[in-house]
Amino acid sequence: MQLDVYFDVSSPWSYLGVVRITALGQELGVTPNWRPVIVGGVFNAVNKSLYERRSGLSPERIAMSVRDWGEWGAAVGVTIVRPQSWPVNSIKAMRGCAWLQHDQAAMMRFARATYDAHWGHGLDISQDEVMADVCSRAGVDPAAYAEAVASQPIKDLLRANTEELIQRGGYGVPTYFLDDEIMYFGQDHVPLLRRRILAKQGRASTIGELNMLETATAS
């Protein structure tokens, strides 16, 4: 069974999706294929109207979104606050993920440390000194990271991943593809993805398992 998961650390919904999919994979014995992308590149290609909608958000709407992030974070066992640098330029952080893509475990340690720095502690992950600290906490050589994210092959790899998501019909993050048969978008669709995996495994599911927090466990 192939489960492709496209993510970008600049999105709090992607953070929630990564946490929930990690738990889902452990529960059902499915190993996700993590695919780092630049969600801004996706928006520029297929969802440009998002920028206009964001610019028109009222302070009350923003406050409600921030509250939702925090409540969802608490539900899945992580802290999510509004960083002062939001929305952030995540290009270097995501190039770092692409650089580590060949070692999925190492990539996700790095990605989770980056999510925690930005969304858990409100740090600006576009800043080199912040990412150097993230590297150290994730067991990554900061000097090697800095060299990699400036290299053309890594830039091309991240661009290719982003184009791949666009070509598959994606329009944001987190996005999941199961066996290249069906696409789900958003962390709130994890329960539906879970039911489909269970069906493929020949295992029964119940109406109660549609509860959106069914698989929202900390990891």
Domain range holding 56? 3-210
Work out the pLDDT band at 47, boundaries 50, 70, 90. Answer: confident
**Amino acid letter at 118?**
H
80 has pLDDT over 60: yes
122-175: pLDDT as tens digits: 999 999 999 999 999 999 999 999 999 999 999 999 999 999 999 999 999 999
The verdict on residue 83 lying in a domain is yes
62 has pLDDT over 60: yes
44 token code pair: 């520029």
The CATH number of residue 109's host domain is: 3.40.30.10
pLDDT (0 to 100) of residue 213: 52
The verdict on residue 215 lying in a domain is no
pLDDT (0 to 100) of residue 55: 64
The verdict on residue 96 lying in a domain is yes
Integer Cα distance of 212 and 95 in angstroms: 31
Work out the pLDDT band at 215, boundaries 50, 70, 90. Answer: very low
Reference 139, options 169, 171, 174, 100; nearest CA is 100
Structural domain count of the chain: 1
pLDDT (0 to 100) of residue 38: 98
Give the contacts of 138 (CB within 8 A, at least 6 positions apart).
106, 109, 110, 112, 113, 114
Average pLDDT on 28-39 reads 98
Integer Cα distance of 14 and 22 in angstroms: 12
pLDDT (0 to 100) of residue 211: 53
91 has pLDDT over 80: yes
The verdict on residue 50 lying in a domain is yes
The verdict on residue 216 lying in a domain is no
Q: Across all residues in the chain, what is the average pLDDT? A: 92
The verdict on residue 142 lying in a domain is yes
The verdict on residue 35 lying in a domain is yes
The verdict on residue 85 lying in a domain is yes
